[in-house]
Amino acid sequence: MPKFAIEGKEYEYDGKISVKDSMFIFEKSKVGIAEFQYAIFGQGNPFAIAAWVYLLKRRAGEAVQWEDILELDLRTFEFIEDPEDPAKDSEGDSAEEETPDPTTPPSRTAGKTRKSGTGATS
């Protein structure tokens, strides 16, 4: 189960995003679920991170208000990788094909290399 930390406290994520949660994320960050992972881990979007932290805290049973989240030190937000994850094989790849989790950090090695945009012009 993915875990996140904020200001030294750990929060678990069960892998589910309800429509209500998705709407809250969009309302607060203007980011849809398809772009949510990149907004948090690729861009460091503070609105997306704040919305995610709020949801994690609420799911953990904390009585938190949106204004409380605005005072947190977002530099303490981190994804906690599980070194003993049984779903990973020896290569670190998932043993089974799964739907990508919008809150798991993107792979830093995946993707295509961009071509240079400085070609000759005539």
| Alpha helix (H) residue ranges in the chain | 19-29, 33-37, 46-59, 66-69
Enumerate the domain spans of the chain.
Answer: 19-74
Q: Average per-residue pLDDT in the chain? A: 78
How far from each other are the two terminal CA atoms of the chain, in whole angstroms?
A: 55
Q: What is the pTM of this model?
A: 0.67
Please name which of 85, 112, 87, 82 lies closest in space to residue 98, comparing C-alpha atoms: 87
Which pairing describes strands 78-80 and 3-6: parallel, antiparallel, or unpaired?
antiparallel
Give the model confidence (pLDDT) of 33-92 as tens digits. 999 989 998 999 999 999 999 999 999 999 999 999 999 898 888 888 776 655 554 455
Neighbours of 11 (CB within 10 A): 18
